Structures are given as C-alpha cells and as structure tokens.
Chains A and B, each alone.
Chain A
Amino acid sequence: MKNKQDKNTDMSEKAIDLELVKQAQKGDIKAFELLVQRYQQKVGGVVSKLIKDYHEIQDITQDVFIKVYKALPKFRGDSAFYTWIYRIAINTAKNHLVAKGRRIQNSDIEPADAENFPSSFEHQNFDTPDAEYERQEIEKVVHDSIADLPDDLKKAIILREVDGLSYEEIAKEMDCPIGTVRSRIFRARDAVDSALKPLLQNEQKRANYVR
C-alpha cells in the first residue's frame, strides 16, 4: 500500500489543471487541448442547463473554451480552474440567450451545484436523430463493457466514477491495498476503452457525431 509520505507527493487534480494551464499560458495549444478534453463534458452539461438545442450547445461549448483560452493570462489559480471556466460558461450561455432575445432560466446556478443541478426542465429533442443514435451507441458500449467486467473491476470503477470515492476510500471499502485499487480502476478503463475504440476510431465519424 502506498504510504502516507508518497500520498503527499501525488499531484492533485487541481495541481494537474494548474500545470496544464501554465503550459497553455506559454502558448502550448496541445496542453490546452488536454484541458478541454478534461472539461468539455462538464462545460457542455452546464451549458445544456440553459440551452436546449444540441447544435447551439456544441457551438457555445466551443466558444466557452475559446474565451477561456483568450482569458488564460488572467487566470491566477486563486480559484479552481473548473470554477473559473464554469463562470465563463454560464456567462457565455446567458449572453447567447440575451443576443437571441430569449428568457434566461436558472440564472442563479452556483458552481458547486452545477454537477448536481436537477433536470428541472426536460430537454426534448436534445439531439438530432443521427447524433442521438450515436450518443446512445457510445453510452451502450460503455455501459455494456462495464457490465461485462469482473466484479472487482466493476465495483472499483463504479465506486470511483459514480460514487466519487478516493482511492483510499475504495481500498477500505474493498478491503484491499491502494495499489490493487489503482490497478483495478485502470484495467476497467482499459477494457471499456478497447470496446470504444472501434466506435471512435474514425475521426470523421466523431466529427459527424458532433455535428
């Protein structure tokens, strides 16, 4: 098991963001791409709280990250990176609605509530039929792959991704060393990734999925 001293030398998720931000501030677009990959779902999710149309969500999510990139020199790291981009996302979405002359709903969403924001209004026809089909396809592959995993891998990945437990908490829960937890979570992700690859391999298909 990883001892306490080793644990303190781990790079926290906030530190990872800061490291990537630092690189992006030096003009490294690739580092910025890693940040976008990390937060595109969360930002898309936040934007979708205010906007219903799937294409608009995609466009605004892109705009948010362009704005984030432009504003990077101003980011000092006083707050969490996600809190910062969350505010930009909300403002961008609101401005979009104002520009379109639409009423702004749920204007008082707080960053902390963003992830647990209740679906108070249903998004009908969120996706185009094609996008909806491919979205369902991806989700099906992910969920099927998880279901097919051995129990110990399945439990480890669910405790981590769905319940949000730390590796230490999962180790206690599963009564095993942290190293084992680390290995199980990786093997679970790797298995799902292998199942997803054929689906996502074709870049054109991915682009079509987005569009």
Chain B
Amino acid sequence: MSDKSNEQISNLMDGELEINASKFLLKRMATDESLSNTWDSYHLIKSCLQKESREPLIIDVAGLVCQQLSHKKCSSIKHEIISTPPHIHRWLKPVIGVGIAASVAIMSVFMLQNQQVDGLQSESYINVAQNNVVKPIKTTISANVATSGKIIVPPPSLSRFPSVSAGNSYNYNQDFSHTVNMPYLLIINQKSDNRQLSPMRIKDVSD
C-alpha cells in the first residue's frame, strides 16, 4: 500500500478528492483490506479527537455487523435489494387486468359467433343486402351441388346485423329436394362495414 493511496484516503474522508479518483478509491477500498483498515484507522483517530471524554469508544462494530450480515447470509436482504423494483409491479397489475378483460371479451365474441353460425345452419336463411337493394333469392341446394361437396355461403356479416336489411329482407329458403349428408363449414367473413358486401365464398371441406 503506497503513501499516495493513504494520502488519497485522507483527502477522501475530508471531501477533498476529485470525483473520479474518489469513486475509483472507494471501489478499491471495498476490495483491498489494507486500504479499508487505513480508512477505519483514520476515522478512529478522528473520533478520538472529537469525542467527549466520557463517550464510549466504538471499535470494530463494522466488522461485527458485516460478520452478522454474512452469517445471516443476508441473501434474503440482498434479494430484497436486488429483486424486482416495486414500480414494475405497479404497471404489471393493470396490464394483467387488461389482459384478462381482453381474453374474456374475445371468448364472448367467439361464443356469440358460434351461436350465430349454429342459427344459420338450423334456420337456413340469411338476409342479404346489396347496393341497398335487397332482392329475393331463393336458394336451393340441389342434390348435385350437395354431392359435389360445395356450398355457396353468402357473407354472414349481414346476418349478424339483421337491422340493416330490416323491412326489405327476404329469406333464403333452402329447399332440400334430397336428403344429403353435408360435410360443410359455413365460413364467416367478418367485415366491419356491413354495407359492403364481400364476395361469396365457397369453401370445400370435403376430402
């Protein structure tokens, strides 16, 4: 240990050392036993000169405290110190809440859609509006269409909003002249604008 280091410690404890040198020295002292002993000793001298005559002289409490901290492992304390800062929890809570709410909303939308699809299949009519003129279309699924494994499905978005075509609505009446086994899926084209009809889609789900 050089005199220069000791002189720097002397300056440091009086706040007379340059910032960068101070930071460097503080880090060195944390790892260099002899430097920290000098730091301890200089403070002891200061205390001896400053203290009242009857005040007790406290020596090496630092060593005992650190021993105690190490013995207790203080890993829990250290963990508390390094663990996730509370501000993260602060913003995490509302995000979780929003996430749950969004999940519930999505689930309910899907359930609603499934119900509507079921309704379409069972009631077999769909309201269609095109260019603000609704024309009656009679749909007949003939046997040969059915056997080809294809079904024409109008955009169901309109059926989800029956009020759009209210008053001018006509039913698609499925006239099953033959009983057929229909391995089809109704595809819902979700367009937000229910006035803009999306093109009919044909979905073949047969193998």
Number of interface residues of A (CB under 8 A): 76
**A113 in the interface, Cβ–Cβ < 8 Å?**
no
**B81 in the interface, Cβ–Cβ < 8 Å?**
yes
Interchain CB contact under 8 A, B81 and A72: yes
Task: Pick from B60-68, B120-128, B135-143 the stretch touching chain A.
Answer: B60-68
Q: How far is the CA of A207 from the CA of B16 in the complex (A)?
A: 32
Contact flag A126-B26 (CB < 8 Å), given A6-B18, A182-B16, A190-B6: no
What's the least CB distance linking A180 to chain B, in Å?
A: 13
C-beta contact mask, A175-211 vs B, less than 8 Å → 1, else 0?
Answer: 0000000110110011011001100100100110110
Task: Pick from A11-19, A79-87, A97-105 the stretch touching chain B.
Answer: A11-19
A25 contacts which chain B residues (CB < 8 A)?
81
Per CB-CB distance, the 8 closest pairs between chain A and chain B, nearest first, are A44-B58, A41-B47, A36-B62, A11-B22, A186-B10, A30-B30, A13-B15, A142-B48
What's the least CB distance linking A207 to chain B, in Å?
A: 7
**B207 in the interface, Cβ–Cβ < 8 Å?**
no
B13 contacts which chain A residues (CB < 8 A)?
13, 16, 38
**A50 in the interface, Cβ–Cβ < 8 Å?**
no
A10 contacts which chain B residues (CB < 8 A)?
15-19, 22
Q: How far is the CA of A176 from the CA of B158 in the complex (A)?
A: 96
Contact flag A186-B11 (CB < 8 Å), given A16-B26, A29-B69: yes
**B193 in the interface, Cβ–Cβ < 8 Å?**
no
Interchain CB contact under 8 A, A196 and B56: no
Interchain CB contact under 8 A, A206 and B11: no
**B45 in the interface, Cβ–Cβ < 8 Å?**
yes
**A77 in the interface, Cβ–Cβ < 8 Å?**
no
Q: How far is the CA of A157 from the CA of B14 in the complex (A)?
A: 12
- The DSSP consensus for interface residues of chain B is helix
A183 contacts which chain B residues (CB < 8 A)?
7
Q: How far is the CA of A23 from the CA of B30 in the complex (A)?
A: 9
Interchain CB contact under 8 A, B61 and A189: no
Tell me which of A11, A162, A189 contacts B42 (CB under 8 A). A189
**B77 in the interface, Cβ–Cβ < 8 Å?**
yes
| Complex interface residues of chain A between 126 and 166 (CB less than 8 A to chain B) | 126-127, 135, 138-139, 142-143, 146, 157-158, 160-162
Interchain CB contact under 8 A, A193 and B16: no
Q: How far is the CA of A142 from the CA of B45 in the complex (A)?
A: 7
C-beta contact mask, B48-61 vs A, less than 8 Å → 1, else 0?
Answer: 11111011111111
What's the least CB distance linking B134 to chain A, in Å?
A: 69
Interchain CB contact under 8 A, B49 and A142: yes
Q: How far is the CA of A193 from the CA of B11 in the complex (A)?
A: 15
Tell me which of B14, B27, B74 contacts A13 (CB under 8 A). B14
**B43 in the interface, Cβ–Cβ < 8 Å?**
yes
Tell me which of B15, B26, B74 contacts A20 (CB under 8 A). B26
A66 contacts which chain B residues (CB < 8 A)?
65, 68-69
**A33 in the interface, Cβ–Cβ < 8 Å?**
yes
B7 contacts which chain A residues (CB < 8 A)?
182-183, 186
| Complex interface residues of chain A between 54 and 113 (CB less than 8 A to chain B) | 54, 57-58, 61-62, 65-66, 69-70, 72-73
